[in-house]
Amino acid sequence: MSFASIRAVTLKYGEKVILSNCSLEVKEGAITCLIGLSGAGKSTILRLLNGLRMPDAGSVIVQGVDLGTLRPRDLIDFRRKIGFSFQFAALFDSLSVGENVALPLREHTKMSNAQIDEVVMRTLDSVGLANVRDRMPAELSGGMLKRAGFARAVVTNPNLVLYDEPTTGLDPIITHVLTDTIKRQREQLDGTVVVVSHDLDSIFAMADYVAMLFEGAIIAYGTVDEMKRSPNPIVQQFLQGSEVGPIPL
């Protein structure tokens, strides 16, 4: 069953066309990973899915709702159902880890301080960070910062969680930890996940479905095994990291 869909979307930044007649189905309860060249527009698709960007043409449907039809206030309310883990965690330096994770609860719920503290501790514990609640972001390693960002993204129990480059610049051990964390969070939330990543090993370990974006459109979609067996030479060149093939260098 489809949880969200991007239908024949065109989107431009000024005169530059980022997406052109782009369509993608996000299956409910699955982890869908987006791959493609740098600058292809993968992160733009995440921003379409949570309503931070609107298409110039086409539509974005999430849980049966066309985001383009929502009034600004309703869009803000709808966005509360969606968690977003930014590429560089985007924690507030002046707030402790616990305070950062608590922010969505303080802004969007009427929970008491005691209830918020309980949920924050439970969420931090789920990503292995219960012991750093009172530390400041500057005191954390890169992997810990990412996990803190994960915790903030899921603290409100969203239906959809979006991860933008969750393992970029991290060593293989921490990458493995973060990949397992994303899989575990999806199971705990019983939700739907979309991940943008360049890390093929991580993608192959967590993805239920993989979609490849190339020149503004999704050119291939399927399970990990289906993508690995894809007859599309562009897909094969990308997966193999080869200099030889139709992708211009």
pLDDT tens, 61-84?
999 999 999 999 999 889 888 988
Calpha distance 74→78 (Å, rounded): 6
Count CA within 13 A, CB hemisphere, residue 214: 15
Produce one character per residue of 32-51: b if its CB has 16 or more CB atoms within 10 Å, e if not.
Answer: bbbbbbeebbbbbbbbbbbb
Q: Strand, coil or helix: what is 8? A: strand
Please give the mean pLDDT across all residues of the chain. 90
For 69, 94, 154, 172, 235, the CA distances from 120, given in Å and listed in that order, are 34, 18, 10, 28, 41
Of 151, 149, 187, 185, the residue nearest 167 (C-alpha): 149
For 148, counting Cβ atoms within 10 Å of its Cβ (0-12 exposed, 13-18 middle, 19+ buried), the class is buried
User: What whole-number percentage of the chain has pLDDT above 90?
Assistant: 55
The pLDDT confidence band at residue 89, using thresholds 50, 70 and 90, is: low
DSSP annotation of 111 reads: -
* pLDDT tens-place string over residues 20-64: 999 999 999 999 999 999 888 999 999 999 999 999 999 999 999
Q: Can you tell me the mean pLDDT for 227-233? A: 94
Of 197, 161, 167, the residue nearest 180 (C-alpha): 167
For 171, counting Cβ atoms within 10 Å of its Cβ (0-12 exposed, 13-18 middle, 19+ buried), the class is exposed
Segment of 123-132, 135-144, 173-182, 201-210 carrying the highest mean pLDDT: 201-210
The pLDDT confidence band at residue 178, using thresholds 50, 70 and 90, is: confident
pLDDT: which is higher, 138 or 1: 138
Residue appearing with tokens 């309503």: 51
Over 90: is that where the pLDDT of 242 sits?
no
Note the pLDDT of residue 111.
Answer: 83
Evaluate whether 235 touches 248 at the Cβ level (below 8 Å): no
Note the pLDDT of residue 88.
Answer: 66
The pLDDT confidence band at residue 85, using thresholds 50, 70 and 90, is: confident
Q: List beta partners, residue 2.
A: 27
Evaluate whether 66 touches 60 at the Cβ level (below 8 Å): yes
Angle subtended by helix axes 113-126 and 97-108, to nearest 10: 130
Q: Which helix (H) or strand (E) holds 7?
A: strand 2-13
